[in-house]
């Protein structure tokens, strides 16, 4: 094989070598969903911070029930959000509300559904109780000082809740690079236009933009004509305006595929151009003198989709110092693939009752068949140097759909 084609693993190692070191910024909590945490979140108090009532009802001293008492005079009421009360007479009870601090002198809560209350007397209508029932005890969930969320985590609503609970009105988060996605080719027209017979709409860039958004990266959109001089001028400016440039198309061997030459003239260092894989062999990656990162994806939509999920996503995680996790699935049926290449095979994933994930390969009509992507959930990674893959064998899987 042409030695300019590098193996899949080599491409990953090169991307890891050229990971970025993103700056850290502070943001208001309400603007942090989807960002990446750059500090640990630790409990500034116990969770819960006091013995907390978990049912509306009454609180008693369990020993009185054990001795046979069933009728309790309501001595006081303890709503949530009020200071701790104290039971003065151990033969009495305190009416308590969910979320209230457990009063002193009591240790067990009985819910209203198990009571009859008349004339400020609560009668327990149960023959047995569990000691300390319906109480969420101080520090039961998290002890003060415990790290709850580690830095590097992409923040969802769950982590935002934690940040608010530990008093973080602002968070230190990673500032991701200013990004642009650039389509290339005179055959492409805006989405809003009706294409002529020889034209197609610019669709790749919208799928890529959405994927980047899911990863917390905002990106602008641009387009380049098949004109080398215009490409030189436009890309020269883009390299000044953006830290991450993602191109689609123009990197193969066509007569009008000027992009590799243009990048070379602009002193962008090429780290690799072709990978031993299908689809997506003509994938280009390089860096500029100012450490811009340039990903030049194949123009075919499935190929560009593959390269975004296999490589751009990997580079982003490495740059965030987050070790990429590998999802493994079992093949549903036999697959044969004879070329000596890594094969990224589209597949739909099924969740089975025994807890296994099973991938059903659904091959489309080549790398231009992007409609096939709506039938599938991600890509199986079938290794090189093997041409027979059998049902029930387990392989890595990279999802592009949030299904689980």
Is it the case that residue 366 has pLDDT exceeding 80? Answer: no
Domain at 52-136, CATH homologous superfamily = Molybdopterin biosynthesis moea protein, domain 3. (2.170.190.11)
Q: How deeply is 302 buried, as exposed, middle or buried, from its count of CB atoms within 10 A (0-12, 13-18, 19+)?
A: buried
Find the mean pLDDT for residues 245-266: 83
**What length does the chain have?**
404
Task: Give residue limits of the domains in the chain.
Answer: 5-22+176-319, 26-47+141-174, 52-136, 327-399
Measured torsion, CA atoms of residues 264, 269, 274, 280, in degrees rounded to the nearest 10: -90
Q: What is the fold, at CATH topology level, of the domain defined by 26-47+141-174?
A: Molybdopterin biosynthesis moea protein, domain 2 (3.90.105)
- Mean pLDDT across 243-256: 79
Q: What is the pLDDT of residue 2?
A: 44
pLDDT tens figures, 21-78: 999 999 999 999 999 999 999 999 999 999 999 999 999 999 999 999 999 999 999 9
Percent of the chain past pLDDT 70, that is, above it, reads: 96
* pLDDT of amino acid 254: 56
- For the chain, the distance separating the N- and C-terminal CA atoms, rounded to the nearest angstrom, is 39
327-399 CATH: 2.40.340.10
What's the pLDDT score for residue 367? 64
Question: Does the predicted TM-score (pTM) go above 0.75?
Answer: yes
Q: What is the rounded CA–CA span in Å between residue 353 and residue 125?
A: 42
pLDDT of residue 403: 67
Q: What is the pLDDT of residues 77-136, one digit of tens each?
A: 999 999 999 999 999 999 999 999 999 999 999 999 999 999 999 999 999 999 999 999
- Sign of the four-CA dihedral 265, 266, 272, 277: negative
Q: Are 304 and 280 in contact (CB under 8 A)?
A: yes
Q: Is the predicted pLDDT of residue 290 greater than 70, yes or no?
A: yes
Q: Does residue 91 or residue 373 have the better pLDDT?
A: 91
Q: What is the pLDDT of residues 319-354, one digit of tens each?
A: 999 988 899 999 999 999 999 999 999 999 999 999
Topology adopted by domain 5-22+176-319: Molybdenum Cofactor Biosythetic Enzyme; Chain A (3.40.980)
User: Mean pLDDT throughout 377-391?
Assistant: 96
CB-based contact 108:57 (threshold 8 Å) = no
Asked whether this chain's domains 26-47+141-174 and 327-399 adopt the same fold, the reply is: no
Query: What integer is the mean pLDDT of 229-246?
Result: 97
Most trustworthy range by pLDDT among 92-96, 300-304, 364-368 = 92-96
Q: Per-residue pLDDT for 152 more than 60? A: yes
Mean pLDDT on 242-270: 86
The mean pLDDT value for 259-273 works out to 94
Q: How confident is the model at residue 1 (pLDDT cuts 50, 70, 90)?
A: very low
Asked if the model's pLDDT at residue 10 lies above 50, the reply is yes
How do strand 293-297 and strand 244-248 relate by DSSP bridges? Answer: parallel
């Amino acid at each position: 094989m042409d030695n300019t084609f590098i193996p899949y693993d080599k491409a990953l190692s090169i991307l890891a070598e050229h990971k970025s070191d993103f700056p850290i910024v502070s943001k208001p909590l309400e603007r942090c969903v989807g960002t990446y945490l750059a500090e640990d979140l630790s409990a500034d108090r116990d969770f819960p911070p006091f013995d907390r009532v978990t049912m509306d009802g009454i609180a008693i001293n369990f020993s009185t029930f054990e001795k046979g008492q069933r009728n309790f005079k309501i001595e006081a009421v303890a709503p949530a959000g009020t200071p701790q009360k104290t039971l003065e007479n151990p033969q009495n009870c305190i009416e308590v509300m969910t979320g209230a601090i457990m009063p002193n002198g009591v240790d067990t809560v009985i819910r209203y559904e198990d009571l009859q209350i008349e004339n400020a007397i609560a009668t327990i209508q149960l023959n047995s109780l569990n000691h300390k029932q319906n109480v969420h005890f101080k520090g039961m969930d998290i002890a003060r000082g415990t790290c709850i969320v580690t830095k590097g985590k992409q923040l969802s609503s769950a982590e935002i809740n934690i940040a608010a609970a530990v008093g973080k009105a602002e968070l230190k988060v990673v500032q991701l690079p200013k990004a642009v996605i650039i389509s290339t080719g005179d055959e492409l027209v805006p989405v809003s236009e009706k294409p002529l017979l020889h034209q197609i709409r610019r669709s790749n860039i919208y799928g890529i933009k959405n994927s980047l958004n899911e990863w917390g990266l905002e990106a602008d959109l641009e387009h380049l004509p098949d004109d080398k001089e215009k490409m030189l001028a436009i890309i020269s400016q883009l390299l000044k305006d953006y830290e991450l440039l993602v191109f689609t198309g123009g990197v193969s061997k066509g007569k009008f595929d000027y992009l590799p030459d243009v990048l070379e003239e602009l002193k962008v260092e090429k780290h690799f151009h072709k990978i031993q894989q299908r689809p997506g062999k003509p994938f280009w990656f390089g860096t500029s003198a100012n450490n811009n990162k340039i990903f030049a994806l194949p123009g075919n939509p499935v190929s560009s989709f593959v390269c975004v999920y296999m490589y751009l996503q990997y580079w982003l995680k490495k740059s965030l110092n987050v070790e990429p996790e590998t999802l493994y699935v079992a093949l549903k049926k036999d697959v044969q693939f004879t070329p000596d290449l890594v094969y990224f095979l589209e597949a739909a994933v099924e969740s089975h009752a025994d807890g296994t994930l099973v991938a059903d390969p659904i091959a489309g009509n080549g790398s231009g068949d992007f409609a096939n992507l709506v039938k599938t959930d991600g890509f199986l990674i079938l290794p090189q140097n093997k041409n027979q893959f059998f049902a029930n064998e387990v392989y890595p899987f990279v999802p592009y759909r949030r299904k689980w």
